Amino acid sequence: MDTDKRGTEITQREEAVQAEQAEELLRGRPYEVLRALRGALRELWGDKAGLFGLLVVLGIVFVAVFAPLLAPHDPAQQDLSKSLLPPFWYGRGSLTYALGTDSLGRDVLSRIIYGTRISMFVAVAVVAVAGVVGTVLGLISGYRGGRTDSIIMGIVDTQIAFPGLLLALIILAVINPSANTVIIVLAINGWMVYARMTRGVVLSVRQTPYVEAAEMVGCKPKRVIFRHILPNLTSPLLTLGVLEFARIILAEAALSFLGLGIQPPQVSWGLMVAQGRDYVFSAWWLVTFPGLAISFTVLGVNLLASWLRVAADPQEREKRFAASISGTAGSVA
Amino acid sequence: MSDDLRPASDHLLEVDHLDVRFFTRRGEAHAVRGISFTIDRGETLGLVGESGSGKSVTSLAILGLIQLPGKITGGDVRWKGRSMLGPVGEKYAHKIRGKEMSVVFQDPMTSLNPLFTIGTQIGEVPRHHLGMNKKQARERTVELLDLVGISNPQQRVDQYPHEFSGGMRQRMLIAMALACEPEMVIADEPTTALDVTIQAQILELLADLQQRLGVAVLLISHDLGVVAQVCHRIAVMYAGKIVETGPAEGVFSHPGHPYAAGLLRSTPRLDVRQARLVGIDGAPPDLINPPTGCPFHPRCELADQRCRDEMPPIDSYDGGREVACWHAFAERVGAEAEA
Amino acid sequence: MPSLSELAQRRKPEHADDEPLVVVEGLTIRFPVGRAGFWGGQKRFVHAVDDVSFHIHRGETLGLVGESGSGKTTTGRAVLRRIDATAGRIWFKGNDITHVTGEHLRSLRRDMQLVFQDPYASLNPRMKILDLVAEPLVVHGIVRHPKDASDRVAELLQLVGLPKDAMDRYPHAFSGGQRQRVGIARALALEPEFIVADEPVSALDVSIRAQVVNLLQDLQDHLGLTYLFIAHDLSVVRHISHRIAVMYAGKLVEVADCDEIYEDPKHPYTRALLSAVPIPDPELQRDRHRQILSGEMPNPVSPPTGCRFHTRCPIAEDRCRTEQPPLEEKAPDHVAACWLT
């Protein structure tokens, strides 16, 4: 009868579950982490967009780290005899200068490769600084509440209302623009999102009975924050950080384009676009390739962030899973 | 429905071997496992069960509200003889939902939109289904509010939900459900979120409305006391299956299934002195790995090898009783219900 | 660390006429309404608890019953010093704890604990059962690391009827009833004398409630615990309570021995509450004379004048509308706040 077959199926499944649990116990923590990683990879494979995003990000990081080994030329080296060479598929072009050269004879490909470094450096630095400052302030604001909360949120609201670009211009008019000033300016402009988000999570988590239970049991505030509240922040912060990363890359490019960011002889994609502006119709490659680099990177990072958002939310994952297999399971009568 | 050449069925609602599954990463949860029951005109059926029984999923399936990761994987739901599932059925279902069949959900605090007056919200129903204009809808709404016992309906119709308490909001949801004079109302745990004294009021109201309007009711609850007041017949669910059905008096006084008996025993009674609270040992089963044979056997005192191996079929007994148990109406089952 | 059984021996005292373990006198709690803005100045208050007084003897269970808005949960939290009282005093073991804070309050936590209503939300889903139950011991410096307390945790789990290997699993692997047992084990970790059980079975299935209530009763017998058992209806508290106190709209309306409340309720609200509990017997239920109250609980921001129950009371008279009745003795050891009984 049907029940017999189901009976053996069920006992097999039960045994499998028990075996897995036993293994878990034996190996402890590392096993759980490995299993989580394996699970993540499997899901990434299911979401091709996310996979693409991850590959792009990994690729960019690789290029940034190994720039000196990858770039065929010194990005700052000028050679006026090689000025405005087109990309290699043109008659005048050659593989030595694969993507062409600019008006001063500098290799576009090498400049793009080195530009990756600056972009990465600025983006990582800003996310780190703004993220830490914003998260800490959000934690304090959410946990203390009352007047502290009002003050901090007041600052957040005021700063958000203030136009970011104007702030950048004002600051940069006073200080000489450079990679470091760009980082400062973008960090000042960017910490508020972290504060707001952290505060929101802290406020909602604080209401949960298990946090109250921790306090009832006698936990000091520090322990409550680190052990009970903070773990809820890791996935939203991660997603936010990645999204911000993309935004910073764009912002830095914009500032550099306006001349308020990276200054020569350093290279930045935005700067390259600015420098190639006058040659849009005659030497299109000077603007197009750095522009593509910007778009490509931002797209990849956004796709990764999108995948992260879904992967971090158990409910979303369940829905996706159900959608993927319900096609093969029974159908509506 | 003028082209319906099929003879109308005697029953208003027919659930026929309904099967609902949830596809989760941990495994496939079989929430409703081939259940069948019927509701006739003017009848009140109480669907009783605890967590994991599948009673709420059943009501969602009837209403067409099952979403991923859940899916109806078998069986049929018929209204007046016509199926409500499948692409054609869903069109039919859409027409009758809200009009011939309506629902009152559990939580009155979140079921009403805080941005609209209750007049607008309740009025939306007759405007959409009966084509009434604003004035007519408003009149109807005032009528309905009066029907459910809201004082000063003329003024209150323009107020917002937050100006009312939980009990009054639940009355409004009942009013909304009655707006188009439905033939059946599904009430899914309508009093669970309410205080005991308010619950008593709402149950009185439901019993009264049922008598006056002759509307059929599918009342879903985990509380046998709630069901006792309003229902003609009850069906007890456990782990996705209906284990006992029958007229309310019969099932309460002489339950045939050990789980029904156990549930009755666990319901504390103020009129009977008990030395100690009695419950049922163990816990509801995991729907992803349900037990073999009868799902109740791990917790049943009467369980033997047959119970572990084979799922008992639903057998019919005198007095319209149906029980799915190898030891139905066994001595110990009935006797302890009196204790 | 003494074992729990040794402790039980020590605690089997001769109580009854001792000084009560918990005494609450004139407890009043008001919350300001509206956000505590930067400039302050809000004048409206929620009168959550108004002049509530009771006592609980060692080894006794006081059932505190009331519907939502009655103030019972607030009272429970105030006794545990989670909320500050606006007025009144609280004594624990003879000491006035009304205004304790800081380290003194933390050390109080070793003697009084809370069992939560929601078994699904009161256990941190990221922590193993071992960590959850051992946390009180870690936090108060009794052990350095949860692993060091595994013997003690095993003992506690056994006490609440859970297997030892539950320690290594996470809460999501357990059912509601089992999670509630974990919550009880956690509450017992520090060997408290007094436990506030805040609707501990409301979120559980009917057939599981008995397990948890009986467990609490057994623990009381073995360990000499004292309970404040908060519930919203009278059917659950009957078996475990020695005495029962009924609250309505922030005030105590009746306090008596357990059987007395059920057999001879004096306050009309208590009678209505008893009458409202549905009986699972269709014939009885339909024929019964039920006192169905009209209306709803009054607005706690502006409670009615006089007796707070008069707006819904079937026997209210003029005096009830203007004068608030005090808690008076209507029978030996049986007090009620009503002009008409």
Q: Rounded to a whole number, what is the distance in Å from the CA of B56 to chain A's nearest CA?
A: 19
Q: What is the pLDDT of residues B120-154, one digit of tens each?
A: 999 998 998 888 999 999 999 999 999 898 888 89
Partners of B220 in beta bridges = B47, B188
- Partners of residue A212 in chain C, C-beta under 8 Å: 82, 116, 122
Minimum-distance CB partner of C272 among B197, B264, B268: B197
Q: Answer for the pair C173, A20: CB distance below 8 angstroms, yes or no.
A: no
**Cα–Cα distance, C275 to A83 (Å, whole number):** 97
Contacting chains of A (3 CB pairs or more, <8 Å) are B, C
Pairing status of strand B216-221 against strand B233-238 = unpaired
**Cα–Cα distance, B238 to A205 (Å, whole number):** 34
Contacting chains of B (3 CB pairs or more, <8 Å) are A, C
- Partners of residue B27 in chain A, C-beta under 8 Å: 13
CA distances from C299 to A241, C41, C48, C250, C303 (A): 46, 21, 10, 11, 6
CA-closest candidate to residue B269, choices A181, C284, A241, A26: C284
Burial of A223 (0-12, 13-18, 19+ CB in 10 A): middle
Q: How does the average pLDDT of chain A come out, rounded?
A: 82
- For residue B79, the surrounding DSSP H or E stretch is strand B70-79
Q: Answer for the pair C137, C149: CB distance below 8 angstroms, yes or no.
A: yes
Is the pLDDT assigned to residue C82 strictly greater than 50?
A: yes
Is the pLDDT assigned to residue C10 strictly greater than 50?
A: no
Q: Which of A18-22, A126-130, A159-163, A304-308 has the lowest mean pLDDT?
A: A18-22
ipTM: 0.85
Q: Answer for the pair B118, B160: CB distance below 8 angstroms, yes or no.
A: yes
Is the pLDDT assigned to residue B290 strictly greater than 60?
A: yes
The pLDDT of residue B142 is: 93
CA-closest candidate to residue A69, choices A102, A107, A114: A114
- Taking a contact as any Cβ pair under 8 Å apart, which residues of chain C between 71 and 90 contact chain A? 80, 82
CB atoms within 10 A of CB C187: 27
Contacting chains of C (3 CB pairs or more, <8 Å) are A, B
Q: What is the pLDDT of residues B110-120, one digit of tens each?
A: 888 989 999 99
Confidence of residue C154 (pLDDT cuts 50, 70, 90): very high
Q: Answer for the pair C192, C118: CB distance below 8 angstroms, yes or no.
A: no
pTM over 0.80: yes
The pLDDT of residue A36 is: 67
Is the pLDDT assigned to residue B26 strictly greater than 50?
A: yes
Q: Answer for the pair A108, A293: CB distance below 8 angstroms, yes or no.
A: no
- Residue B336 tokens read as 């302890």
The per-residue b/e assignment along C132-153, b for 16 or more CB within 10 angstroms, e otherwise, is bbbbbbbbbebbeebeebbebb
The pLDDT of residue B151 is: 84
The pLDDT of residue C6 is: 52
- Residue A16 tokens read as 């499998």
- Partners of residue B222 in chain C, C-beta under 8 Å: 205-206
Partners of B39 in beta bridges = B13
- C280 to B195: CB separation less than 8 angstroms, yes or no: no
- Partners of residue A228 in chain C, C-beta under 8 Å: 124
- B71 to A321: CB separation less than 8 angstroms, yes or no: no
Q: How does the average pLDDT of chain C come out, rounded?
A: 88
Average pLDDT over residues A288-292: 91
Q: What is the pLDDT of residues C231-276, one digit of tens each?
A: 987 888 888 899 999 999 999 999 999 989 999 999 999 999 988 8
- C67 to B196: CB separation less than 8 angstroms, yes or no: yes
Is the C-alpha dihedral spanning A49, A51, A53, A59 positive or negative? Answer: negative
Is the pLDDT assigned to residue A123 strictly greater than 70?
A: yes
CA-closest candidate to residue B222, choices C208, C283, C173, C197: C208
Confidence of residue A33 (pLDDT cuts 50, 70, 90): low
Q: Answer for the pair C160, C185: CB distance below 8 angstroms, yes or no.
A: yes
The number of C-beta contacts closer than 8 angstroms across A and B is 62
Minimum-distance CB partner of B69 among A4, A322, A332: A322
Q: Cα-atom radius of gyration of chain B, to the nearest Å? A: 21
- Residue B25 tokens read as 């990463």
The pLDDT of residue A30 is: 59
Q: Answer for the pair A155, A162: CB distance below 8 angstroms, yes or no.
A: no
Q: Which of B47-51, B136-140, C275-279 has the lowest mean pLDDT?
A: C275-279
Quote the percentage of chain B above a pLDDT of 70: 94
Confidence of residue C289 (pLDDT cuts 50, 70, 90): low
**Cα–Cα distance, C188 to C111 (Å, whole number):** 10
Minimum-distance CB partner of C209 among B227, B277, B281: B277
- For residue B213, the surrounding DSSP H or E stretch is helix B196-213
The pLDDT of residue C229 is: 96
CA-closest candidate to residue A73, choices A276, A259, A267, A257: A267
Is the C-alpha dihedral spanning A313, A319, A324, A325 positive or negative? Answer: positive
DSSP calls for C35-81: ---SS-----EEEEEEEEEEEE-TT-EEEEE--TTSSHHHHHHHHTT
Is the pLDDT assigned to residue B273 strictly greater than 80?
A: no
Angle at C65 between CA C62 and CA C67, to 5 degrees: 160
Reading across the β-sheet that carries C243-248, which strands appear in turn?
Answer: C112-115, C194-198, C226-231, C61-65, C243-248, C251-257, C334-336, C328-331
DSSP 3-state of B153? helix
Strand ranges (E), chain A:
none
- C140 to A231: CB separation less than 8 angstroms, yes or no: no
Q: What is the pLDDT of residues A134-192, one digit of tens each?
A: 999 999 999 888 899 999 999 999 988 888 878 887 887 788 888 888 898 899 888 99
Partners of B79 in beta bridges = B13, B82
Q: Rounded to a whole number, what is the distance in Å from the CA of B297 to chain A's nearest CA?
A: 14
Q: Answer for the pair B179, B140: CB distance below 8 angstroms, yes or no.
A: yes
Q: Which of A206-215, B129-138, C35-44 has the lowest mean pLDDT?
A: C35-44
Residue of A nearest to C198 (CA): A209
**Cα–Cα distance, A267 to A273 (Å, whole number):** 11
Quote the percentage of chain C above a pLDDT of 90: 63
Angle at B27 between CA B22 and CA B31, to 5 degrees: 35
Residue of A nearest to C108 (CA): A218
Residue of A nearest to C80 (CA): A216
- Partners of residue B33 in chain A, C-beta under 8 Å: none
- C278 to B266: CB separation less than 8 angstroms, yes or no: no
Q: Answer for the pair B243, B237: CB distance below 8 angstroms, yes or no.
A: yes
The pLDDT of residue C15 is: 46
Q: What is the pLDDT of residues B298-322, one digit of tens each?
A: 999 888 899 999 999 999 998 889 9
- C206 to B266: CB separation less than 8 angstroms, yes or no: yes
Is the pLDDT assigned to residue A254 strictly greater than 60?
A: yes
The pLDDT of residue C17 is: 54
Partners of B234 in beta bridges = B46, B246
Average pLDDT over residues A276-294: 89
Q: Answer for the pair B166, B107: CB distance below 8 angstroms, yes or no.
A: no
- For residue B141, the surrounding DSSP H or E stretch is helix B134-147
The pLDDT of residue C337 is: 93
The pLDDT of residue A329 is: 42
Side-chain-side CA neighbours of A91 within 13 Å: the count stands at: 0
- Partners of residue B310 in chain A, C-beta under 8 Å: 1, 3
Q: Answer for the pair C235, C204: CB distance below 8 angstroms, yes or no.
A: no
CB atoms within 10 A of CB A205: 19
Reading across the β-sheet that carries C95-96, which strands appear in turn?
Answer: C45-56, C22-32, C87-92, C95-96
DSSP 3-state of B257? coil
**Cα–Cα distance, A45 to A52 (Å, whole number):** 10
Q: Do you find a cis peptide bond into A265, omega within 30 degrees of 0? A: yes
